[in-house]
Amino acid sequence: MSSIAAPTSLPGEEPIEQKNYLNVKTTLSSWLLTGDHKRIAVLYLFSIFFFFILGSIAAGLVRYELTSPTGRIMESETYNKVFSAHGIIMIFFFLIPSIPATFGNFFLPIMVGARDLAFPRLNLASWYVYVVAGILMLTSLCLGGVDTGWTFYPPYSSMYANSQVTLTILAAFLAGFSSIMTGMNFIVTVHKMRAPGMTWFRLPLFVWAHYATAIIMILGTPVVAITLSLVLVERVLRIGIFSPELGGDPVLFQHLFWFYSHPAVYIMVLPGMGVVSELIANFSRKRIFGYEFVAFSSLAIAALGFVVWGHHMFISTQSMYQGIFFSLLSFLVAVPSAIKVFNWTATMYKGHVVLAAPMLYALGFIGLFTIGGLTGLFLSSMGTNIHLTNTYFVVAHFHYVMVGGAMMAFLGGLHYWWPKMFGRMYADNWAQVTALLSFVGFNLTFMPQFIIGWMGMPRRYHYYYFAPEFQAYHIASSLGASVLAVSLILPVFYLGHSLKYGPKAPPNPWGAHGLEWQTDSPPITSNFESIPIVTDEVYDFPEERTEPDTHLAAAATGNGKAKKGGS
């Protein structure tokens, strides 16, 4: 069998090739009308990549503007539109669908041992809804964009804003529906499509995390959908539900909005935690420490996520007693999150840790997510929150969780499953350097923001002539953003290169454990020749496989042992 990093040819490989999901049909319509969860995942991968580029360009503009205390290139209004575009695109069009709609779509059915998701046509519909939402978003950008921030607070958004609020809200509304469809599919698939012998406690933690995510998707997203559409009718028909002129309450909007949008941050990070659980277990060659605790902590995060939304509103008109409760409940979220971090760490203890690129991303995730999580506690304390809210401390906090967490996990997952999805190996040393670079770049970008945030730099300002001493920090941050950008551009080249020139991937290049590694790389359309019967436990690494000292050897021996024989 092949080794992973050596780009040499593979003389032993049999030339007979079965048609996989990629080359079974190659017409455009076979892609656009596909019911195959793997193809839909690939469609999603390229669509979210497109929006990721757009959102990143907006982020770059923001960082460039902030290198001078008086701003560099933009008017205030333009700046408002740029950071709004960054937020809306990154949240609704990248982070929320990122891991669930790509890796979730691709691997959840394979991991439970199914041929497809329960409702393939619904799955395809979800991509089309996403695309229509994306086109609306692009239209609104072309017509001048929106300046409300991603939160669309009325009455500004409903009565006063003169930008493309209507179109943008419609786009976010539709994007929400695509996420609801994905969530419904996942719930039904996990409940009903598991292969014989695949009990709940044999499910990989990736599946548990996606199950928890799907619960949030179906419970939260409809609420924000109706809330945004109320803003929409308020804007278009002048119906007034949040309008203070008619005795309505804009804070009601904030409650309804954050009832979804706080759990939504768990939609972004839970799938990432699922990916990291896979990476930590498989690159430590050990069953994850406290599997049940990690599984249930996902559900606990989903449940607790729904009762903490008020911590976004400590400085609204919400009552102090409400604030105290939301503050206490917010602290509780730290418990299941910490369980995960401790258990990942404990898994690595005495494990045979292999520092391949995906594992480096996973380790980066643990560090960055821990910082993001702990600074969340500063913000959930009412006293410090009053000082820190609407400062760069908040910006740094949620970027540590969303970028340092969700995006690192996305990149880790991308590197981990790339050989399975596209059947090619990439240059691992390039990927390792890139992973380190992204870690350095990320910290350089956002660590200074914690400091200036603590010192009082308000968010959403494009100048700070009142405090020119912040400039050094802003320049450091922008410099870090450039490093981060390089580390995000590099994978485009070496992953793209691997598609054509990379050595063919064996079914299980990492010596990993799980049903997805028993399929071909790339898998056939129906995933398995026949539905597997699962007889062993999850992350069950045989003792004899814990010897190899390099991941190359691990890959070689892992291949020999973990396969189902004959490919």
Partner 1 sequence: MAAIAQETPQEHHGPVHHQFENIVQQNEAYAIGMWTFLVTEIMFFGALFLSYGLYRWRYPVDFSRVHEELNINLGAFNTTVLLVSSFSMALGVHFAQLKDRAKVLKALSVTIACAFTFLVVKYFEYGAKLEHHLFPGANFRPEAEHLHGGNPNVAQMFYSLYFAMTGLHGIHVLVGILVIGFLMLLWVKKNPLVTEDFMPTEMIGLYWHFVDLVWIFLFPLYYLIPK
Q: Which residues bind partner 1 (CB under 8 A)?
A: 114-120, 180, 183-184, 187-188, 191-193, 196, 218-223, 225-227, 230, 233, 237-241, 245-249, 252, 256, 259, 513-515, 518, 526, 528-536, 540, 562, 564
Residues 314 and 386: beta-carbon distance below 8 Å: yes
Two structure tokens written together for 393: 């401390």
The H-assigned helical ranges of 285-407 are 291-305, 320-348, 357-380, 382-388, 392-401
Shortest Å distance, C-beta 562 to partner 1? 8
> Closer CB to partner 1, residue 319 or residue 535?
535
Residues 275 and 413: beta-carbon distance below 8 Å: yes
559-565: long-range contacts, CB 8 A cutoff, minimum separation 24? 559/1, 559/506, 559/507, 559/508, 559/509, 559/511, 560/1, 562/508, 562/511, 562/512, 562/513, 562/517, 562/518, 563/507, 563/508, 563/518, 564/518
Shortest Å distance, C-beta 165 to partner 1? 17
Two structure tokens written together for 375: 């600074």
Shortest Å distance, C-beta 140 to partner 1? 23
Rounded alpha-carbon distances, angstroms, from residue 89 to 34, 42, 112, 135: 26, 19, 32, 12
> Closer CB to partner 1, residue 222 or residue 456?
222
465: left (phi over 0), alpha (psi -120 to 50) or beta: alpha
> Closer CB to partner 1, residue 310 or residue 532?
532
* Residue 46 neighbours by CB distance under 10 Å: 9
Distance separating alpha carbons of residues 127 and 518, to the nearest angstrom: 28
> Closer CB to partner 1, residue 237 or residue 320?
237
**Contacts of residue 150, Cβ cutoff 8 Å, sequence gap at least 6:** 84, 87, 88, 91, 92
Two structure tokens written together for 51: 């929006």
* Residue 358 neighbours by CB distance under 10 Å: 30
Two structure tokens written together for 386: 């009053």
Shortest Å distance, C-beta 279 to partner 1? 18
Amino acid at residue number 415:
H
Identify the CA nearest to 461 among candidates 60, 58, 62. 62
Shortest Å distance, C-beta 169 to partner 1? 15
Two structure tokens written together for 35: 């019911």
Two structure tokens written together for 530: 């026949």
> Closer CB to partner 1, residue 188 or residue 490?
188
Residues 45 and 102: beta-carbon distance below 8 Å: yes
Distance separating alpha carbons of residues 314 and 383, to the nearest angstrom: 10
Residues 539 and 343: beta-carbon distance below 8 Å: no
> Closer CB to partner 1, residue 116 or residue 147?
116
Shortest Å distance, C-beta 246 to partner 1? 5
Shortest Å distance, C-beta 202 to partner 1? 9
Shortest Å distance, C-beta 254 to partner 1? 13
Amino acid at residue number 323:
G
Shortest Å distance, C-beta 515 to partner 1? 6
> Closer CB to partner 1, residue 483 or residue 538?
538
> Closer CB to partner 1, residue 260 or residue 392?
260
Distance separating alpha carbons of residues 483 and 492, to the nearest angstrom: 15
> Closer CB to partner 1, residue 67 or residue 243?
243
Within a 13 Å sphere around the CA of 256, how many CA atoms are in the beta-carbon half? 20
Shortest Å distance, C-beta 129 to partner 1? 14
Rounded alpha-carbon distances, angstroms, from residue 431 to 95, 187, 355, 361, 376: 22, 34, 11, 10, 30
Shortest Å distance, C-beta 248 to partner 1? 6
Amino acid at residue number 156:
Y
> Closer CB to partner 1, residue 13 or residue 249?
249
> Closer CB to partner 1, residue 59 or residue 133?
133
> Closer CB to partner 1, residue 246 or residue 335?
246
Shortest Å distance, C-beta 37 to partner 1? 9
Shortest Å distance, C-beta 537 to partner 1? 9
Residues 497 and 426: beta-carbon distance below 8 Å: yes
> Closer CB to partner 1, residue 51 or residue 528?
528
Residues 336 and 408: beta-carbon distance below 8 Å: no
Shortest Å distance, C-beta 35 to partner 1? 8
> Closer CB to partner 1, residue 482 or residue 526?
526
